[in-house]
Amino acid sequence: MDDFTQHSLSAQAADVTTLFNLHYARLVRSLTVICGNSEEAADAVQEAFVKAHLKWGKISTYDDPVGWIRRVAINKVRDGHRSRVRRDRAVERMGHQTALTSEQPAIDEVAELLATLPKQQRAAAAMFYVEQLSVIEIAEALEVSEGAVKFHLHQARQKLRAHIEAREEM
């Protein structure tokens, strides 16, 4: 391997490493809220960064490489969730009592409440409140319009606010 290739690979690794150091924790925490499992979120984000490493020559030309990584990680979580739901339904059709592996671990009541929220509301709330993303960035990540993001955020906020007020009254 010549010096130029070595240098370009090291520069690429430096770029990806920089992105990783800056955004990995935020992405994992946001996806933990979305999927309810920190390990699953960490695996999804790591897989997204592996793909970014392998395709960095193309991804580096994008306007928002982190947005691409986030979208890949969210798709990974969704795929995992879909496969789990499909597997649980198949087991149910066979008449067995399933362990409900697709259900989110009930950390507390907030987690249970989040698990009852639709996927888009949960993802929008996680990105907005945990990752501190703007409505536009959330719309790009979820590939929906800004109005849809605002609607999902409004619905999620109402439900969470109601739960918080109920807890304060208790």
Partner 1 sequence: MDEFNDSDISSLLNQLAGSSPDTMMAHKVVLGKVRRVRQRRVATVSAAAFVMVVSGAVAMVQKSNGRDGSSNIAVPLSPNDSQPVKVATTLGLSVTTTTIDGAISIDPIATDPPVGTPSTQPSSNSTSPSNTSVVITTPPTNTQAPTNSQGPSITTTPSNNPAPTTSRPPASTPVTTPVTTPPVTKAPIVTSPPVTSPPSTQAPITQPPLTLPPTTVPDVKTWTCGGGSVKYRVTSNGLVLVETTSAPGFTISENKVRADEIVMKFVSNSKNDERKSALKIKRSGLVSTSCDDEGFDRRSDSEDSESNDNNEESADD
> Under the rule (CB under 8 A), what is the footprint of partner 1?
13, 17, 20-21, 24-25, 28-30, 32-33, 38, 42, 45-47, 49-50, 53-54, 107-108, 110-111, 114, 125-126, 128-130, 134-135, 150, 153-154, 157, 160-161, 164
- Kindly state the smallest distance separating residue 25's Cβ from partner 1, in Å: 4
Q: Which tokens sit at 96?
A: 């067995």
- Kindly state the smallest distance separating residue 98's Cβ from partner 1, in Å: 25
DSSP 66-121: HHHHHHHHHHHHHHHHHHHHHHHHHHHHTTPPP--TTSPP--SHHHHHHHHS-HHH
Burial of 58 from C-beta contacts in 10 A (0-12 / 13-18 / 19+): exposed
Q: Which of 4, 22, 9, 7 is nearest to 53 (CA)?
A: 9
Nearer to partner 1, 24 or 88 (CB): 24
Nearer to partner 1, 90 or 158 (CB): 158
Distance, in Å, from the CA atom of 72 to the CA atom of 68, rounded to the nearest integer, reads 6
Nearer to partner 1, 148 or 160 (CB): 160
Nearer to partner 1, 91 or 160 (CB): 160
- Kindly state the smallest distance separating residue 157's Cβ from partner 1, in Å: 6
- Kindly state the smallest distance separating residue 158's Cβ from partner 1, in Å: 10
Neighbour tally for 51: CB within 10 Å: 16
